[in-house]
Structure 1
């Protein structure tokens, strides 16, 4: 019996490992987990001893998961999700209420894959509704108290306050084959108005005196990307969304530089008291997973 117990994984140590791996820092994990850095280090060391392998590589800039650490990060996430959901259901101590969350469509897929399922497993009695829209539209819904929580880019309608999550990396994207930038007027695939990347593209081209025209406009990021891959146009998307059918364009093609945007987490002004603990819990999870990392680190893309 003692041998079995010695080989058991400690759930709190797994939580500390997850936070350290996601934030890339034992100190940041200690702050997030309300423990000392040495306590976090000891928890991870015990995990490594139980599993017989190194989970984190320590370096001057922080920590990064090893191959074994990456595997544990994925499998432990599911284990903790099942544990938290079961505990909530049997103890009745779960949160309740309703949370309406707004997300920019460009990042919704990654958040839906990982962060939101974790929240639902931990708090199965919370009625969570996630909606996607442009950042401009999300900003309007926040000011109208139609959302309890939203991730909003700081363009085209910056909101006061909020918590910084990550900085985006908008780039010019063109088809792998073709020289669309050599045309007299550059063909663009754009979102509708209120999209930060539409504003970036138009502002940059007009400031540099580069002629352009829209050949494709859509509310769907996937449709815009298909227009680029098909060779119809170039567009501005997050660098992480570049596919094998695209290539990044820039100064060599005569295109102007693009400034980054910042994704910020905003909480609605009017929230029902019964729902406030759930809103705060989701906000804390989003900050934990996305701070200085963005959704790409929170949910690694499959290849």
Structure 2
């Protein structure tokens, strides 16, 4: 066990955090620019110092034990406090490039507050932001074109990630008209790799309701306009239902939608020079989004976004 005179090496905790993110000692070695044996020795040293097994090692990588899960949470908080203290005095010296991917549906809210705050706190960091569908963001992560991304689940080929918040997808239609009762439901949707499109078509197929995608766009604003003007119905986050729309549910004959999760994902390998900058942005995203999402006014008022009523 750790004696009172012992201290933990923060670099061991940083390496452990990367291991938890990647699920692989080999990937961690690439990210941390160390040999595989050095990473393995670091983890054994950490387990020895804490006198507890942190990792289950298997043929497909490593997973955290229950003790590892506890340490990960505590390590993140410790590193957050440490890095915040350091950045308070020399935050302008934190540098590097961060390539962030966010779903287009949430770009406006994140650009209103969270990302400007990050850039103000760390002016030495170059921030590149890509907005796209979750499926395309997942693919960009796999190709190492992004360092981290917020991705809704149901994105093809992407597993794991840290849960940030639970979006509230709803059917949305124009205030006037009854498009939702047509024999073939007209849809306004994002392209194929959008989780909300998948939720819509999955629900309609399960209910044996024929549908047709009559309007497809990567722009959330274009999809919203198609709904508002009565061209089609679609699936939006409840917070995006405007006064020119109305939310539809089972009482309107629409099938229920599965809930989904917004998760934070990291690339399998991040440039060593950019890792501190990536960690700093990830921590701010956790602080601002975990449990509440980008809809800050609802979190501050204690109101559940799902309880909102609109015309």
Partner of 1:265: 264
Cα deviation digits, residues 137-160 of structure 1 (max 9, x gap): 111111111111100111132522
- Are 2:257 and 1:245 aligned? no
Preserved contact between residue 138 and residue 155 of structure 2 (Cα < 8 Å)? no
Partner of 2:286: 287
Partner of 1:152: 151
**Which whole-Å CA distance do the structure 2 matches of 1:92 and 1:258 have between them?**
44
**Which whole-Å CA distance do the structure 1 matches of 2:265 and 2:192 have between them?**
21
Cα 1:267–1:235 change in 2 (3 A) is same
Judge which range, 260-269 or 276-285, deviates more.
260-269
Partner of 1:180: 179
Partner of 2:139: 140
SS in 2 for 1:269: coil
Runs of 4+ residues over 6 Å off in structure 1: 30-34
Preserved contact between residue 92 and residue 122 of structure 2 (Cα < 8 Å)? no
Preserved contact between residue 168 and residue 237 of structure 2 (Cα < 8 Å)? yes
**Which whole-Å CA distance do the structure 2 matches of 1:118 and 1:95 have between them?**
15
Partner of 2:43: none
SS in 2 for 1:147: coil
Gaps of 5+ in 2: 1-73, 79-85, 300-311
Shift of 1:31: 11
Partner of 2:188: 189
Partner of 1:216: 215
Partner of 1:277: 276
**Which whole-Å CA distance do the structure 2 matches of 1:198 and 1:31 have between them?**
37
Cα 1:157–1:92 change in 2 (3 A) is closer
Shift of 1:284: 0.3
Cα 1:168–1:92 change in 2 (3 A) is closer
**Which whole-Å CA distance do the structure 1 matches of 2:249 and 2:277 have between them?**
43
Cα 1:140–1:298 change in 2 (3 A) is farther
Partner of 1:229: 228
Preserved contact between residue 111 and residue 299 of structure 1 (Cα < 8 Å)? no
Gaps of 5+ in 1: 1-29, 35-83
- Are 2:113 and 1:107 aligned? no
Cα 1:277–1:298 change in 2 (3 A) is farther
Preserved contact between residue 290 and residue 298 of structure 1 (Cα < 8 Å)? no
Shift of 1:298: 7.1
- Are 2:148 and 1:166 aligned? no
How many residues matched? 220
Preserved contact between residue 99 and residue 129 of structure 1 (Cα < 8 Å)? yes
**Which whole-Å CA distance do the structure 2 matches of 1:299 and 1:183 have between them?**
35
Matches within 5 A, 1:36-51: none
SS in 2 for 1:295: coil
Preserved contact between residue 103 and residue 132 of structure 2 (Cα < 8 Å)? yes
**Which whole-Å CA distance do the structure 2 matches of 1:156 and 1:298 have between them?**
28
Cα deviation digits, residues 40-88 of structure 1 (max 9, x gap): xxxxxxxxxxxxxxxxxxxxxxxxxxxxxxxxxxxxxxxxxxxx99x77
Shift of 1:93: 5.1
Preserved contact between residue 165 and residue 261 of structure 2 (Cα < 8 Å)? yes
**Which whole-Å CA distance do the structure 2 matches of 1:157 and 1:262 have between them?**
14
C-alpha RMSD over aligned residues: 2.4
**Which whole-Å CA distance do the structure 1 matches of 2:109 and 2:213 have between them?**
28
Preserved contact between residue 103 and residue 152 of structure 1 (Cα < 8 Å)? yes
**Which whole-Å CA distance do the structure 1 matches of 2:172 and 2:111 have between them?**
25
TM-score by length of structure 2 reads: 0.66
